[in-house]
Amino acid sequence: MKLDSIDIRILKELQRDADQTNLALAETVGLSAPACLKRVHKLKAEGVIERVVAVVSAQAIGRRLNMVVEVEMSSDDMRLANQFINAIDQSPEVKQCYKVTGSVDFVLIVNVADVFEYDAFCQRVIYAQEGMKKFTTLISLRCTKFDLSQGGLASLY
């Protein structure tokens, strides 16, 4: 789908506040409410907008520790990598998983309440992987930036 300048303004505005009414969004981007709603539905149908979610405060629900975990696999065996990915997909503590290039194979973002929960996660998931060679845990002391928006929208137009 080719995005025009109005689509991009809609996307930027929804990334800023997806909870606003269609009327408010339409006014901000300079469209009638029906035309704006039609565009939003099309952006969803085309997969440009994947989903709309509520971002829950991890601190408010007692999930204060974020770990960045670098995982090195023992080999480039696709079967072992897929087993690892499946285990990670089943682990609610893992919020993000990236298959990366370089000296490690995966980078995980793991969110837990405390080090005891993290240790239990490691025992249950990380150590249980037959293809895992080693892993390194980086403990986040504080989050200095958290941004779910997609940058570069302006370059599409």
Please state, in angstroms and rounded to a whole number, the distance separating the CA atoms of residues 53 and 80.
32
Mean pLDDT (whole number) for 13-41: 96
CATH 1.10.10.10 in the chain, residues?
Answer: 5-54
CATH number for the domain formed by residue range(s) 65-139 = 3.30.70.920
Tokens of 26: 């339409």
What is the CATH topology of the domain spanning 5-54? Arc Repressor Mutant, subunit A (1.10.10)
Q: Which residue type occupies 67?
A: M
pLDDT tens digits, 105-155: 999 999 999 999 999 999 999 999 999 999 999 999 988 988 888 877 766
CATH 3.30.70.920 in the chain, residues?
Answer: 65-139
pLDDT reading at 9 higher than 90: yes
Confidence of residue 57 (pLDDT cuts 50, 70, 90): confident
For the whole model, what pTM was predicted?
0.81
Mean pLDDT, the chain, integer: 93
Place of tokens 């002391």: 141
